[in-house]
Amino acid sequence: MAKAAQRAVASAAGNTAKRVGPLDGRAKRTAMVSVEPAPPATRISLRAGKDAVPALSKALGLALPDRPKTSASKGSRTALWLGPDEWLVIDQAGHDMLADCAKVKALHSAVDISHRNIGIVVSGAAAADTINAGCPQDLSLAAFPVGASTRTVFGKIEIVLLRTAEETFRVECWRSFSCYAFTFLAEAARDAAA
């Protein structure tokens, strides 16, 4: 019955179904840390050799970082260094980055992975402790400063980690792992507050 009602609402709104994220409505907040799903964003996986980097940087409007464990931000966009020829670029305003890259003639590969990943924002005084519950990296400010980004592990899954502020991290994981990642983070947040 409920489903039929939903369908009726959808068709009334011009046949557009509402997109539902796997973590919609979930949140964990303690006095020390909060764990929340990040709003939808567009993302591309970018692979390119050294010669294509200047043109891609120009097309994307931000300088692709070339140092390990770094990122670059401009406006709504953040480019995360994942490997010597690999970047994850996130646009929080939802702009079409593939269109930007299509203008570049130099050899590169850009794949839209907007819906492959889910972002989780972990913030608060115990944010690093919460992530360290499943991630073996040194997340002290000296080793992992603001703007640092890396692909790493979290429990049994692979994540991409970005420190957006001293006490704020963005965890990017594959959509099908997001329930695991969120539940793990929520339990870690409970422990970190204890």
Partner 1 sequence: MLLIRCPYCEEERPELEFRNAGEAHIARSTDIASQSDEDFEKFFFIRSNPKGLIYERWRHIHGCGRFFNAARDTVSDKFVLTYKAGEPKPDISRAANDSGPAAWANRPPDQLNVKKPAARRAPSKKGKA
Q: How many residues sit close enough to partner 1 to count as binding (CB under 8 A)?
A: 13
Between 59 and 162, CB nearer to partner 1: 162
Long-range contacts of 62-68 (CB under 8 A, 24+ apart): none
Q: Does 25 bind partner 1 (CB under 8 A)?
A: no
With CB under 8 A as the contact rule, the residue among 68, 75, 94, 145 that binds partner 1 is 68
For the segment 109-168, give every residue that binds partner 1 (CB under 8 A). Answer: 136-137, 150-153, 158
Minimal distance in Å, beta carbon 84 to partner 1? 6
Edge-to-edge strands, sheet with 117-123? 28-29, 34-37, 117-123, 168-174, 157-165, 149-154
CB 38 within 8 A of CB 121: yes
Q: Does 66 bind partner 1 (CB under 8 A)?
A: no
Distant-in-sequence, close-in-space partners of 178: CB < 8 Å, separation ≥ 6 = 22, 23, 37, 118, 120
Q: Does 73 bind partner 1 (CB under 8 A)?
A: no
Q: Does 69 bind partner 1 (CB under 8 A)?
A: yes
List of residues contacting partner 1 (CB under 8 A): 68-69, 82-84, 86, 136-137, 150-153, 158
